[in-house]
Amino acid sequence: MGHQCCKLAKGAVLLADTVAKVLNCYRAGDPGNPYCRQYETALAAAGQADQDGVATAELYNTIWHIRYLRGDYQEALEDLERALRLRPDLASAHYHRGLVYRRLGDAGKARNAFLQAQKLAVAASDDGLVDALEHYL
């Protein structure tokens, strides 16, 4: 049993590392970096974590961004819905959901998501998120 635990933990670390490298590469605007083309690797690793039953709300709340960057807005929204099923109080997932709805042109759902994020962020004293939300509310 301990061996399976270690295997899952190692997989989670590798997944987190891959996702972080993909997102950092994209943000740096360095298309020559091989990690910029590893969207599929990161998504496959997330899918494996889901199948293994070790996917967390935080994972879904991270992997949505890769789908969003690729223009897969509906899939990004599905990842955020998974995150919120696991942790309905995850303010940043509500915020990210608002961003996706906004991109999809649904101002009403975007506003509702931003308002929920604001409520949770204020309750958690997450001043950074509260400040970010001011732009959208």
Residue-wise pLDDT tens digits, 13-51:
666 666 667 766 766 766 666 666 677 777 777 777 777
**How distant is the alpha carbon of residue 57 from its chain centre?**
8
Which residues, including other chains, have CB under 8 Å from residue 103's CB and lie 6 or more apart? 68, 73
CATH number of the domain where residue 64 is located: 1.25.40.10
What does 3-64 look like in DSSP terms, one character per residue?
Answer: HHHHHHHHHHHHHHHHHHHHHHHHHHT-TTSGGGG-HHHHHHHHHHHHHTT---HHHHHHHH
pTM, full prediction: 0.76
Asked whether residue 41 falls in the same domain as residue 88, the answer is: no
Of 55, 70, 88, at which residue does a domain stop? Answer: 55
Specify the amino acid at residue 72.
Answer: D
Asked whether residue 128 falls in the same domain as residue 95, the answer is: yes
pLDDT of amino acid 112: 98
Asked whether residue 68 falls in the same domain as residue 85, the answer is: yes
3 pLDDT band, cuts 50/70/90, is very low
**pLDDT higher than threshold 90 for residue 117:** yes
- Give the range of the structural domain holding residue 39, as residue numbers without chain letter: 1-55
Total number of domains in the chain: 2
Buried residues in 65-77 as b, exposed as e (16+ CB within 10 A): bbbbeeebbebbb
Of 55, 79, 100, at which residue does a domain stop? Answer: 55
**pLDDT higher than threshold 60 for residue 89:** yes
Q: Dihedral sign, CA of 75, 63, 49, 126?
A: negative
pLDDT of amino acid 46: 76
Asked whether residue 65 falls in the same domain as residue 114, the answer is: yes
**pLDDT higher than threshold 70 for residue 1:** no
pLDDT of amino acid 11: 56
pLDDT of amino acid 5: 39
pLDDT of amino acid 16: 64
